[in-house]
Structure 1
Amino acid sequence: MTELFRRATGCLQEAGWTCEPPLSTEDGVPSALQPAPETVVDWVSSFSQLSNADETVWFLSRHDYSTGSEDAFAWNECEQLSIQAATTDDEAAAVSRFWKRHVPILLSVRNGYEYLAVRDDGAVVHGAEPEFEEAVAVFSHFEDLMRYIVARPTAWKDVVERLLFDAGKHP
């Protein structure tokens, strides 16, 4: 997996992304990452920052999942916004149930709020405002997202292409 991560990070850097080396991982896995597959924990531990050139799209790093992070956007920003928007206890409970099954791995503020998350069955889903919980699966497995980044196939997955690479600029 490490080689796949290195290649994916390299492809993102070739597309203008910034990558900073990982911080220490001695503190153990943050509780927010406990439900994530081991490959996702390994991925988010492989960098401290991984973002596009204007920092409007970024993969969450292991540090971002720590409760003490002071970044402008929390790792669970979409969940927090949805809970604030809920008008009934039932709606708030439905939001909480959704996010117990999903771990965000990428956030975007480029064209409104969007995210990629790993669902508890390993699938990668995409969601966007205003209904973050109306997520659509874009990959069956997290590793498929990594392979997609490396391959940059000609049959683009529009949502992922738009998030990760500048839409319309093909290699």
Structure 2
Amino acid sequence: MTELFRSATGCLQEAGWTREPPPSTQDGVPSALHTAPETVIRWVSSFSLLSSSDETVWFLSRRDYSTGAEGAFAWNECEQLSIQAATTDDEAVAVSRFWKRHLPILLSVRHGYEYLAVRDDGAVVHGTEPEFEEAVVVFSHFEDLLRYINARPARRDHVVDRLLFDASRIPDTTLGH
């Protein structure tokens, strides 16, 4: 699995992402990660920073899930925004119920707020504002996301490409240009 992590971060770095190694010592697993799959815990522990060149898209690191982590955005920023937007107790309960089953692993502010999260069954979902909880499955398993990054497909029309590889700057080859 370590090789999969290394090659995925290498591919992101080739695409202009910044990676900083994890701290040499790490505290215990933050409570936010207690129910996360072991692979996800190992992934978020494999770097201290992993962000796009414009710093508008980033994978959350183990440190980000700590309650005392500093930063402009909390690891559960989307949940917090949805709770604030809830107009009834029932809506707030539904939001909380959704986020108990979903762990954000990537946040983006490039084209508005959006995220990738790992659902409690291991699937990776994508959601956007304003209805963060209307998420769509993009990969059946977290490892599939990493394999996709490693594959760096020539045709980039997947929602993940826009997040990770800034598809807006990729020339459109489907029109014969």
* TM-score, normalising length: structure 1: 0.96
2:44 aligns with 44
Structure 1 residue 151 corresponds to structure 2 residue 151 = yes
Distance apart, 1:26 and its partner CA: 3.4
C-alpha distance in structure 2 between counterparts of 1:110 and 1:124, whole Å = 20
1:99 aligns with 99
2:174 aligns with none
Q: Which has the larger radius of gyration?
A: 2
CA contact (8 A) 2:23 2:48 kept: yes
Alpha carbons of structure 1 residues 93 and 169: separation in structure 2 relative to 1, 3 Å = same
Deviates more, 1:127-136 or 1:24-33: 24-33
C-alpha distance in structure 2 between counterparts of 1:43 and 1:144, whole Å = 13
2:68 aligns with 68
CA contact (8 A) 2:157 2:167 kept: no
Count of aligned pairs between the two proteins:
171
Instruction: Structure 1: give runs of 5+ residues left out of the alignment.
Output: none
Distance apart, 1:80 and its partner CA: 0.1
2:175 aligns with none
AA partner of residue 14 (structure 1):
E
User: Deviation string for 1:35-88 (max 9, x for gaps)?
Assistant: 110000000000000000110000000000000011000000000000000000
Report the secondary structure of 1:116's partner residue. Answer: strand
1:59 aligns with 59
C-alpha distance in structure 1 between counterparts of 2:22 and 2:10, whole Å = 15
CA contact (8 A) 1:40 1:142 kept: yes
Q: Identity over the aligned pairs, expressed in percent?
A: 82
Distance apart, 1:133 and its partner CA: 0.2
Deviates more, 1:107-116 or 1:146-155: 146-155
Distance apart, 1:28 and its partner CA: 1.1
CA contact (8 A) 2:13 2:19 kept: yes
C-alpha distance in structure 1 between counterparts of 2:102 and 2:83, whole Å = 15
C-alpha distance in structure 1 between counterparts of 2:28 and 2:107, whole Å = 23
Deviates more, 1:160-169 or 1:21-30: 21-30
2:108 aligns with 108
Report the secondary structure of 2:127's partner residue. Answer: strand
Deviates more, 1:71-80 or 1:16-25: 16-25
C-alpha distance in structure 2 between counterparts of 1:3 and 1:168, whole Å = 29
Instruction: Calculate the aligned-residue CA RMSD, in Å.
Output: 1.3
Matches within 5 A, 1:16-27: 16-27=16-27
Structure 1 stretches of 4+ moved >3 Å: 154-157, 168-171
2:123 aligns with 123
C-alpha distance in structure 1 between counterparts of 2:38 and 2:11, whole Å = 22
C-alpha distance in structure 2 between counterparts of 1:94 and 1:15, whole Å = 37
